[in-house]
């Protein structure tokens, strides 16, 4: 959602002596600010320059084409070398919420000369990042110019937003809804439109070819051609079926080879973990065996067990020779010693110091149990994975065999098809049939893709339409307020559902959202053609003001809006009504920039009447003085002066 918008404070133009001999330096403030002057004095050029400075591109209405080099040869008569030294520049100072921006741009190249935000210097990339961030649509600089061009700039030849359904929805989401939702909707709608357009175009082409085929078939129809066609179609079908089988087997083979690699990697990991667990188990078993053996040796001592215990836990006699080996008569003595030691051990006495000792019991190690359990788990996992991999490898071999056979069969079928084609050249009619078949196939694919994207789009729109539905009464109320200030008739806005929207001629997909339509004198006007030029212009202006009103109510934010020659399409009787409509809107704190040709004595005095009389002059930029007026305009200066004098004397109106 847009959190803030641009509030223009000052515009400066230099180096544009052809239109503005002394340059322009004009301060703006909330309320109505007017650029006045006759035809060709640069009113439109100035508002284009102001927007060009901020957005870096021409902001124009859809009905008008402005060349890339709009400002070239319009602002200066100097030659190219002099212009390069001192090019025409435009500087705009503006606020966005609490942030203060200044941007200076070259009007010929479009390059940013300097930019600042809160006095911090910015390059072009930094400026294009800081501005949308301050506005509330971070990272979407492009949408700023769309909002300005379609909502905040009311040009002389404008898009009629009150009847542009999709544009309404786009701007309403951008202005009043979540910005990420808007970007998803825009992307999905682009995909739907692209697929639908492709499907309709290729369907139209196929239909034309089908008519050509009917005419050709009527001229060239015989039994032999039909038999050849049947055989050709049969071979073509067999080839297509075999190609499908080859593709299917190739995909399965690729998937299983990928799976086999993943299983191999997993097996390597499990094997390492299993060997680690097995090593831990062996250590635990060896430790447990040592403890149990000592306990057994002491419980049931023998010469061998005593000797082993002594070797293991005391002197380790393996480092020296045995005392009985090679010494006659020693065996009998040692046997007595062993018997005596065994008896002492059985009594519970130490065989070294004769101290009484408690009988040890075999230990039951919890560590051994845990190691055994963990090893068993790892072994089971490894065994299961090895089995699964064997199955995968078996399938891979089967797929390779089947794929090899299928490729051989495909080669045979393709060869037969080629031979038949050489022996029976395809007629013009068959060429058309093949082309039509391929076109219809691509058409079906495009429609499937379109329907898939449309389903996603409608799911997103279910929630956004619900949010828009809650705001429709607010928009309708605001529209009545502004439209009735201009029209003598009752005004309203109707929110039409998708099934009620008017249809255009020709095949198309259904509009993806509900839409607003003006209701004038109790009649819904789904087409702008039902109203006069002046009526539809101000109905459209009222609709724009209504959308901005709802945003203002939710955010308390203000905007800068540009309205070109609003009095140009109306007669004298409606001049004051137009002025009242604009004054009412500006009363919310918005900054309005209007242009006028001073072609009557009613509009300008009344549109400026909300300001104090002594402040009106400084909010009027008079290009009859600041610009380069033509002789005919100088000749009528007394008439223009009379209008400007009445601006000061008109009573203040709230």
| Coil, helix or strand at residue 325 | coil
CA distance 204 to 196: 12
- Categorise residue 297: left if φ over 0, alpha if ψ from -120 to 50, beta otherwise: alpha
Percentage of residues in the chain having pLDDT higher than 70: 75
Please report the pLDDT score of residue 64 as a whole number.
44
Please report the pLDDT score of residue 47 as a whole number.
93
Please report the pLDDT score of residue 320 as a whole number.
40
Q: Is a pLDDT exceeding 80 seen at residue 143? A: yes
What is the average pLDDT across 287-292?
55
Describe the strand order of the beta sheet including 153-154 as a list of residue ranges: 153-154, 560-564, 591-596, 31-36, 620-622
Of 62-71, 125-134, 444-453, 551-560, least confident by mean pLDDT is: 62-71
What is the average pLDDT across 489-495?
73
Please report the pLDDT score of residue 434 as a whole number.
77
Looking at residue 501, the DSSP 8-state letter turns out to be S
Question: pLDDT band for position 247 (50/70/90)?
Answer: confident
Please report the pLDDT score of residue 14 as a whole number.
94
Look over the chain and give the mean of its residue pLDDT values, rounded to a whole number: 78
Please report the pLDDT score of residue 358 as a whole number.
57
Of 177-181, 375-379, 536-540, least confident by mean pLDDT is: 177-181
Q: Is a pLDDT exceeding 80 seen at residue 26? A: yes
Contact 104, 112 (CB under 8 A): yes
What is the average pLDDT across 558-585?
87
Whether 396 is in a domain gets the answer yes
User: Could you tell me the maximum CA-CA distance found in the chain, to the nearest angstrom?
Assistant: 154
Please report the pLDDT score of residue 422 as a whole number.
66
Looking at residue 62, the DSSP 8-state letter turns out to be T
Please report the pLDDT score of residue 227 as a whole number.
61
Of 39-48, 132-141, 251-260, 373-382, least confident by mean pLDDT is: 373-382
What is the bridge-based pairing of β-strands 560-564 and 591-596? parallel
CA distance 88 to 13: 7
Please report the pLDDT score of residue 538 as a whole number.
84
Whether 493 is in a domain gets the answer no
Q: What's the pLDDT tens digit per position in 321-353?
A: 444 444 455 455 556 666 666 666 566 666 555
Looking at residue 628, the DSSP 8-state letter turns out to be -
Question: pLDDT band for position 595 (50/70/90)?
Answer: very high
CA distance 18 to 21: 6
Q: Phi first, then psi: give them for residue 356, nearest 5 degrees.
A: -65, 135
Contacts of 172 (CB under 8 A, 6+ apart): 468, 471, 547
Of 57-61, 157-161, 323-327, 559-563, least confident by mean pLDDT is: 323-327
Of 61-75, 414-428, 528-542, least confident by mean pLDDT is: 61-75
pTM to 2 decimal places: 0.61
Domain count, the chain: 1
Of 77-91, 186-200, 418-432, 484-498, least confident by mean pLDDT is: 418-432
Contact 163, 527 (CB under 8 A): yes
Q: Is a pLDDT exceeding 90 seen at residue 399? A: no
Whether 104 is in a domain gets the answer no
Please report the pLDDT score of residue 104 as a whole number.
96
CA distance 204 to 624: 57
Most confident of 11-25, 153-167, 429-443, 472-486: 11-25
What is the average pLDDT across 186-205?
82
Q: Is a pLDDT exceeding 60 seen at residue 374? A: yes
Whether 324 is in a domain gets the answer yes
Whether 418 is in a domain gets the answer yes
Question: pLDDT band for position 319 (50/70/90)?
Answer: very low
What is the average pLDDT across 111-129?
94
| Coil, helix or strand at residue 640 | helix
Whether 154 is in a domain gets the answer no
Query: DSSP secondary structure string, 203-263?
Result: HHHHHHHHHHHHHHHHHS--HHHHHHHHHHHHHHHHHHHHHHHHHHHHHHHHHHHHHHHHH
| Coil, helix or strand at residue 533 | helix
Question: pLDDT band for position 185 (50/70/90)?
Answer: confident
Please report the pLDDT score of residue 507 as a whole number.
44
What is the average pLDDT across 135-149?
87
What is the average pLDDT across 192-217?
81
Question: pLDDT band for position 118 (50/70/90)?
Answer: very high
Q: Which residues pair with 14 in a beta bridge?
A: 89
Please report the pLDDT score of residue 303 as a whole number.
46
Whether 372 is in a domain gets the answer yes
Which structural domain, as residue segments, surrounds residue 238? Answer: 221-423
Percentage of residues in the chain having pLDDT higher than 90: 22
Question: pLDDT band for position 514 (50/70/90)?
Answer: low
Q: What's the pLDDT tens digit per position in 415-459?
A: 777 776 666 655 556 677 777 888 888 888 888 888 888 888 877
Describe the strand order of the beta sheet including 515-520 as a list of residue ranges: 491-496, 515-520, 523-524
Whether 392 is in a domain gets the answer yes
What is the average pLDDT across 155-177?
75
Of 15-29, 486-500, 514-528, least confident by mean pLDDT is: 486-500
What is the average pLDDT across 371-400?
83
Cβ atoms within 10 Å of 6's Cβ, excluding its own? 25
Question: pLDDT band for position 39 (50/70/90)?
Answer: confident
Please report the pLDDT score of residue 622 as a whole number.
93
């Amino acid at each position: 959602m847009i959190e803030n918008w641009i509030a223009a404070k000052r515009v400066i133009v230099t180096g544009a002596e052809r239109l503005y001999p002394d340059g322009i330096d004009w301060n703006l403030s909330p309320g109505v600010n007017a650029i006045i002057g006759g035809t060709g004095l640069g009113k439109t050029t100035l508002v284009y320059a102001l927007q060009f400075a901020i957005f870096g591109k021409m902001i124009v209405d859809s009905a008008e084409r402005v060349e890339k080099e709009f400002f070239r040869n319009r602002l200066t008569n100097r030659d190219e070398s002099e212009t390069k030294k001192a090019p025409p520049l435009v500087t705009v100072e503006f606020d966005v919420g609490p942030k203060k921006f200044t941007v200076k741009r070259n009007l010929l190249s479009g390059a940013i000369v300097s930019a600042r935000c809160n006095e911090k210097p910015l390059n072009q990339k930094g400026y294009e990042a800081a501005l949308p961030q301050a506005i509330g649509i971070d990272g979407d600089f492009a949408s700023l110019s769309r909002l300005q061009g379609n909502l905040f700039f009311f040009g002389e030849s404008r898009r009629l937003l009150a009847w542009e359904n999709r544009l309404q929805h786009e701007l309403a989401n951008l202005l009043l809804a979540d910005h990420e939702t808007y970007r998803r909707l825009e992307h999905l709608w682009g995909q739907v439109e692209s697929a639908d357009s492709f499907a309709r175009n290729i369907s139209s082409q196929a239909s034309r070819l089908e008519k050509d085929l009917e005419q050709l078939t009527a001229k060239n129809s015989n039994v032999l051609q039909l038999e050849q066609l049947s055989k050709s179609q049969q071979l073509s079908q067999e080839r297509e079926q075999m190609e499908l089988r080859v593709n299917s087997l190739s995909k399965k083979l690729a998937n299983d080879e990928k799976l086999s690699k993943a299983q191999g990697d997993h097996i390597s990991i499990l094997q390492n973990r299993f060997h680690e667990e097995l090593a831990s188990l062996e250590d635990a078993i060896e430790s447990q065996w040592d403890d149990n053996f000592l306990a057994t040796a002491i419980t049931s001592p023998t010469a061998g067990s005593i000797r082993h215990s002594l070797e293991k836990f005391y002197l380790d006699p393996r480092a020296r020779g045995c005392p009985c080996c090679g010494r006659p008569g020693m065996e009998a003595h040692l046997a007595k010693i062993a018997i005596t030691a065994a008896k002492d051990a059985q009594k519970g006495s130490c065989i070294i110091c004769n101290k009484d000792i408690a009988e040890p019991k075999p230990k039951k190690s919890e560590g051994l149990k845990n190691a055994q359990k963990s090893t068993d788990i790892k072994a089971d996992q490894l065994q299961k994975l090895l089995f699964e991999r064997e199955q995968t490898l078996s399938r891979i071999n089967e797929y390779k065999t089947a794929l090899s056979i299928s490729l051989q069969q495909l080669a045979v079928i393709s060869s037969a098809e080629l031979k038949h084609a050489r022996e029976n050249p395809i007629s013009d009619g068959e060429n058309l049939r093949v082309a039509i078949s391929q076109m219809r196939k691509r058409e079906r694919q495009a429609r499937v893709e379109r329907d898939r994207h449309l389903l996603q789009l409608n799911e997103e729109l279910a929630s956004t339409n619900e949010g828009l539905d809650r705001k429709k009464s607010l928009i309708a109320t605001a529209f009545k307020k502004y439209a009735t200030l201009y029209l003598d008739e009752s005004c309203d806005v109707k929110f039409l559902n998708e099934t009620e929207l008017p249809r255009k001629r020709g095949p198309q997909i259904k509009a993806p959202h509900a839409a607003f339509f003006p209701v004038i004198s109790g009649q819904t006007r789904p087409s702008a053609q039902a109203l006069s030029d002046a009526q539809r212009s101000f109905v459209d202006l009222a609709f724009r003001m209504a959308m901005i009103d709802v945003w203002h109510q939710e955010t308390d934010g203000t905007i800068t809006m540009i309205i070109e020659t609003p009095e140009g399409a109306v007669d004298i009787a409606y001049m004051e009504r137009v002025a009242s409509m604009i004054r009412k809107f500006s009363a919310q704190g918005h900054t309005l920039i209007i242009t006028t040709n001073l072609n009557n004595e009613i509009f300008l005095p009344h549109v400026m009447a909300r300001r104090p009389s002594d402040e009106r002059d400084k909010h009027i930029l008079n290009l009859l003085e600041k610009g380069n007026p033509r002789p005919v305009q100088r000749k009528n200066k007394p008439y223009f002066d009379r209008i400007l004098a009445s601006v000061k004397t008109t009573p203040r109106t709230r």
